[in-house]
Each structure stands twice: as C-alpha cells, then as structure tokens.
Structure 1
C-alpha cells in the first residue's frame, strides 16, 4: 500500500503530521501485509488485509495458497468521534488493527466524513464514529467508539455498503437498498430532507435489482440491472445479474480446470492434452453444446478434439467458462478476443476490449497494433489505431514504433488530421 498527500492528522499514514507527502510512498506499517480493499475520506482511511495461515491465531486457519483468507480491518488518521473504531477518540498516525473486529471476518469497509462501516462475511453490518445525524443506524444520534452491530439490519444479508459525509447506504443480496442518516438535499431518496436514524428501505427501487451503490457528500447513486422487473412487480434475475458467490466456490471451480481425474472430454492444444467437463462446457457455451450434440466425431466422449488456439488462451477460455471470471493480460487480449468470438462468448470478448482500452499506452500501442493487424482482428486494430493517431507525437519517438510495418505506418499517417 502506498499513500501520499496531506499529512495533517496523520492522513498520509506515515506516522508524522507535518507538511505533505508529494509523491507515492510505501506505507511501511503495512509492508508485510496484503491489502485487499481500501476506503478513504477527508480525515481517515480504512483498509482490509488478507491474512494467511499462522499469522493470527484468532482467525480460522486457511492455507496460504487458497483463494479464501480471513480479513482484518485497519483504520488510521484522525480519531475524533471514534471513527477509527479503537475505543477512543485519539488520533492514530499509522495503521492500527481494529481489535474488536477480530474473528468477525470483515469483507468490506467504507469511510464517511465522520463515521465508518464494515460488512462481515455473514452479511452483518457494524458502524462506528459520529452519530450526530443518525448515520450509524442505531436509532439514536450517539457516537460509537467501537464497531457496533446495526440491529435493524440483522437477518438481512448485505453485500455492499457505502458512506457519505453524514449518511449511509446498504445494498442487500436481494438487490434492495437501505439508506439512513442526514437526508438534506434528498440524498436518502425517501422523498424528504428529514434525518433517519435507522435503516429505511428505499421504496422507489423495490422490484428493481440494484447491483451497486455509491454515495458522496450530498448525493447517492445506484446501478440497476436492466430488464430486472417482470409484470406484477416481481423481480427476476436478468442475464449477467450479479449475485453473491463465495471466493471458496470460485477457487474450487478454478481448481477443476484441466483436471484429468474428473474430466470426461479431452482436447489437443498445441500438442498437449487439456481436460474438461462436457456438462460445464455445454451449459456455458453454445459452441460446445452444438459440438457435443452434433453426432460428429467430436461428440464421441473417447475422441480427443483438436483446438486451433494457443494453450494459454484455451486455458483462459476454460477458466472463464468454469468461474465466469478471468484475469486477462494484455499479451493475450488479442488472441483471447478472437477465441471469444469463435466460441460465441460475447461478455468475455467485451472484457478483452475493456482490458485493452485500460492498458494501452505509448509503450505498447504500436506492438498491439501490429499484433492485431497480423491476427486480422479489426476491433483491436481500431482501438490501437485510434490511440496511436491521437498520441502520435509521443509514440513516433518511442522504440515501439519500430514494430509497426511500413504499410501500417502509412495508414497511421493517412488518418492524422
């Protein structure tokens, strides 16, 4: 974790309060820990660390190579109102563990202007800090210096929280939204500017499937799944709906990729055998479903099926089919886009475009253009071409421009204004 900016009240987290930190600096107090989530506001910061086996006996022991680990909450900076959760209002100039959350397995933190909130793995919510506007959700306006369970939401499984300057928002696993705290400017969404000290269901969004919430000082926003309301107002999951899936389940599914012991189909990819489960492939991919029911030799369970893509990219395809997620590196993006198009995986294909747009830069744009051109991938070529034309003065002086063929260079020049 690295921090920079204002040091007043310990905001930068480096242990001192004088001046400013003008460049990113490693936060030494957390140097040996893996930070998995951050939240910051004007006067304090919170982070979650992923703790592996043997590091804290208070946690359930988990193998270090597993996707699931236990989380700890760490808060630091200005402690006024108890927003750091350490049981007092003292400032804390470097990260300090919130000991009262040990064993509760927090999975998300949120920092507001004067308060903080935590959601645990079992969907419960704890709040602490300033309660002047009812933003803690305990039915009063009293500060809490330690994390306190929000009783009004007990029994409702939460999957995301967010804190504004003086209000709070919670999203349930059913896609419903609760808001409370200071209602000025209408930011709670209940039709008035009144303060609310206990979580209230946002009636205007009932029947819609909200998948993400966000809030700032004086407003709130929700991301709603399109076409998630049926006749009569009952909600159904639209294609691609986000639902809570445990990290353990995803890890176990990923472990099944290319597992010979439990496979019933084999592929030959670059001369190497790759194993899979026909049921998963057929259910998740129409291309494979059609292949297995075609009556052709590929439908015979005993036949090893040749695959015309690289071994690395085919494993990425399988990982996506098994887990519905995959980490896409830029070096594989073009070929994975082509493979996704071949296997009719539109979402994965779009993910490749997103990765390229986010990762493209002056050092790799020329290489990406040449790769896309040679692979006859017009979409990726267009993305790279657009970037190069818009940043030609920089890219033309880079080493990467040498990778571009003469014909492509002429094409770039023809597109320049």
Structure 2
C-alpha cells in the first residue's frame, strides 16, 4: 500500500509507518481520507467542499479523526464532487455533503457536513455498493435490490416519474448483484444513455442497445461519457466525445456503445471519473493506455503510457485536481492493490463452461433453484466430490443433487470457485462459504474466505465469527475474532449477535479475555 500511496503527492510526506498502517484511502480536491488497520478514520488537506466530514469547511494540516466513522469497519468510500458516502462491513451507509435535492437519502434537503447514517428504507438492508453523482445516488443491496434517491428532473432515478426523492426508493427491476448493461433514466442529448438520438430522456431502467448478449463486468462514467468492459476483455464507449474520450479516433459523440480498437490485446480493467474527459485501461500484460484530454493533449485513440496502474493516471493530474477514481486499498495480507490475481491465469474455456446447461451432467438444486455443473471438474478439484461421484454412493448415479440448509448465493459461489479460482462474495456471506469449504475440505477456498472474513469483521458480527470459529475448530479465525472482540469488548457484548451465543461460548470468550487481563482493576 505504501508504494501505491507514494504515487499521490498528498501522501508523500507521511511517515512510512503511517503509510503501512493505512488500508483504505481516497483523494479529492486536495484533501484525503484514510482508514487505518485498527479501524480509525482520518481526514486532512483542503476542505473547501466539506469532503473531510469534519462538520465544517476548514482545511486541515493536522490529521483529524472522523469520529462518526471510527470503529465502523469502513470498507468503501465513494464520492462525487459534493456528495460523499462510506459503507461499513455490515452494510450501513453514512452520507454527508450537499443535499439540496435529497441526494444523501436522509429524508431532508438540508446539507450536512458530518457523516450521518442512512436509516429510511435501508436500516435493515446490507448495502454493498454506492454509485453517486453530485445530485442523485444509487445503492445496491446484498439481496440484489437497487434503491435510488435525489434529483430526478430527467427521470435519472429510474422510477418512471420526475419527482425528487429524499429517501431511498426501491427500483422495480432485477439486478444481478453486479453492474450490467443497464442505465437509469437521464437526459440523453450527448448520448450518455446509449440510446438512439431521438430518445431525449429515459425515466425507467432500460438495457443499452448494442450490448445484448454481452456480459459486462465493469462500467465507469466520466463527465458525460461511459465505458464498459466485457468479460472477454473488450471495451465499449459512448456519450460525449469533444476531447476524444471515447477512443474511437473521432470527436463525434456516440449514442450507442462502440467497440474500441487498438493494438493492446485483452483489457483487464478500465477507468473514468465524473470530473474528467479522460479514459484509461490496463491490459493483461499490465500496460496502461489513456485517451481523451491527458498531459495537456487530446488523444483520440488509446495511447500507451509509462504508468504501471490505472490509479497512477489520475494521481498525475496537477495539484488538487488529482482524484481517486476508486478507493486505494490493500487486503488483510498487504498484497499490492494492482497485483495480478492468479485467476487471470485460469483457463478461459474453464471459466466460460460454468453453468453451461448443454454440457453439464449434474444439477444442484438449492432453495428450489438449479445450478448446472460438470462432475469431471468437481472430481478434479474437490476430494469430497471425487468420493461422492466415483464411490459407491447413491449420489454417484444421480444427475440431480438436492442441497439442503445452504443458501443459493453461497453454494453458487462455491461451485463457481472450481471453475474460476475466484471468490466473488460479500463479507457477510463469507462465513457461510467458509463453513461450506470446511465441510467439503477445500483448503484453498477456506484461505480465501478467511481473508474476506477478516476484512469484513465488525462489532455487529464479531460474536458470530468467534462462535463459528469454535464450531469449525479454526484456531486462526478464533484467535483473530477473539482479538477483535477483546479490543471492542463492551460494544460486542451489547450486540444482538452476542446475546445469541450459548453459555459455553460466552464462558470461553470471557475466560480467554480474563487471561489477557481484560477485567483487571
């Protein structure tokens, strides 16, 4: 993380010790917010737009603690020019900034410069993603629901009308738990909706024509243009193009997604930012390309740079124009943020074969829904499946397996791991997946789950993590959860999760805490 932070001028003067202790950071308008490994949140630098969440607009040379976010295990920080959001590991959302259209979702149109938890309609939900402009906001929950709030003059909330909303309102369309080829209503004069030129406004969610049948894994919006990355490493762009930010060799706006061509091979990730007319991409060979207004020039096609990461593209804007397009983060084991995931080396044919109905020879039925798989793949990757399908078990001759007492989403992620070597699951579900990996004796998956659980532990779930660690005899997880509980003992004891623990687990926790001197006078 330290090397990544050093790319940004605002972090260069920090001590090496402090930089090693930062696990999450964002930069905006000459200010910075960072979260430490011990769950403290600080802001420093310029603060003319209230970015630092200190309750005022006074700049800070000293690092100032943002009390409302400390101890909340903040996992994500998202912002536009005048609105700011923080998401905790338990899915709570804290908002602050400009609110004249209700874009903070707090039930009023009053500005607030202190992080305030969004309660209305999201109080019992786990939010996993926030997407915001300076005037309206969208959130995605763990149960795949989408809520919107804020300015709605052009129907950008996707609710079918043009009335502003000051509290989160659920949208009536399906979400897949990730960004796909949907865009919400908005004014379309520059083609940002990806709809034809005769569509002036769109006030309900609608698929983008031209992306049908294409699986989109990433999507970013610039000032008035959009980029979409497909699962086969191709980039599509549309919208305003005065500065060449679409990368299609012209300055003509596009009302439909256009495939960007170039001598760069397969694209691994893309980037754009709400306040800039620049786009960027990194290839599987770790080469970074940029196009649009960049380095004082207009580049109409993707141009190779000397940068080593997408973050560095935005770090090199002068003075306070530098801004993070996504949070700078490290995982629990301090792996480099831009380190190439081993899943990128996984055979593409194997990834694509997951869920292939035609070639599958076994179906798992979970919560009444089917997941198609291949016995050969499961036998090669899991000893339990090998015994099940090759041994003298009734399951060996059955093409349909009924799975009870497991959730569909977690079992889907479990089977997908064998095909992709990736774990695509939110922290709140990682504990169940860890249990599943333990049952099926998939050691590598257990290790991946441990990383996610450790990043997602919070006061609200610490007791259940400790309980599960004891049940599964995982000493590593038990010790980690215990240290967290010890550090936040009073808060943990007052949670609903702690009240559900049986007496033996409570006794074990308190005995262990007493041995560490927790109850000394």
TM-score range, shorter chain: 0.5 to 0.7
Give the secondary structure class of the aligned counterpart of 1:135.
coil
Compared with structure 1, are the counterparts of its residues 214 and 91 closer, same or farther at alpha carbon in structure 2 (3 Å cutoff)?
farther
How many angstroms apart in 2 are the aligned matches of 1:199 and 1:247?
A: 28
Which of 432, 450, 474 is the matching residue for 1:332? 432
Compared with structure 1, are the counterparts of its residues 204 and 20 closer, same or farther at alpha carbon in structure 2 (3 Å cutoff)?
closer
How many angstroms apart in 2 are the aligned matches of 1:24 and 1:137?
A: 42
Higher relative contact order (CA 8 A, sep 6+): 2
Which of 343, 347, 354 is the matching residue for 2:451? 354
Compared with structure 1, are the counterparts of its residues 176 and 153 closer, same or farther at alpha carbon in structure 2 (3 Å cutoff)?
same
Structure 2 residue 209 is matched with structure 1 residue 102: yes
Compared with structure 1, are the counterparts of its residues 353 and 242 closer, same or farther at alpha carbon in structure 2 (3 Å cutoff)?
same
Structure 2 residue 310 is matched with structure 1 residue 180: no
Which of 299, 307, 310 is the matching residue for 1:196? 299
Residues 3 and 26 of structure 1 are in contact (CA less than 8 Å); yes or no, is this contact kept in structure 2? Answer: no
Structure 2 residue 503 is matched with structure 1 residue 406: no
How many angstroms apart in 1 are the aligned matches of 2:109 and 2:189?
A: 19
Report the aligned-residue RMSD: 5.6
Matches within 5 A, 1:232-271: 241=345, 249-252=353-356, 256=360, 259=363
The residue number in structure 1 matching 2:322 is: 218
Following TM superposition, by how much is the alpha carbon of 1:389 offset from its aligned partner in structure 2, in angstroms? Answer: 0.9
TM-score with structure 2 setting the length = 0.48
Matches within 5 A, 1:9-408: 12=103, 23=118, 39-42=131-134, 71-76=181-186, 83=192, 95=203, 101-105=208-212, 107=216, 108-119=218-229, 123-129=234-240, 131-132=242-243, 134-140=244-250, 142=251, 144=253, 146-147=255-256, 149=258, 152-153=261-262, 158=267, 160-164=269-273, 165-172=276-283, 176-184=287-295, 194-202=297-305, 216=314, 218=322, 223-225=338-340, 241=345, 249-252=353-356, 256=360, 259=363, 279-285=376-382, 287=383, 301=390, 303-304=392-393, 320-322=417-419, 324-325=421-422, 327=425, 329=429, 332-333=432-433, 335-336=435-436, 338-339=438-439, 342-343=441-442, 345-346=443-444, 348-402=445-499, 403=501, 404-408=505-509
How many angstroms apart in 2 are the aligned matches of 1:224 and 1:399?
A: 38
Structure with higher Rg: it is 1
TM-score with structure 1 setting the length = 0.57
**What is the aligned length?**
336
Residues 116 and 127 of structure 1 are in contact (CA less than 8 Å); yes or no, is this contact kept in structure 2? Answer: yes
- Structure with greater helix percent: 1
Compared with structure 1, are the counterparts of its residues 353 and 68 closer, same or farther at alpha carbon in structure 2 (3 Å cutoff)?
closer
Residues 139 and 198 of structure 1 are in contact (CA less than 8 Å); yes or no, is this contact kept in structure 2? Answer: yes
Following TM superposition, by how much is the alpha carbon of 1:355 offset from its aligned partner in structure 2, in angstroms? Answer: 3.6
Give the secondary structure class of the aligned counterpart of 2:486.
helix
How many angstroms apart in 1 are the aligned matches of 2:338 and 2:311?
A: 6
Following TM superposition, by how much is the alpha carbon of 1:125 offset from its aligned partner in structure 2, in angstroms? Answer: 1.3
Gaps of 5+ in 2: 1-92, 146-173, 315-320, 329-336, 365-371, 396-402
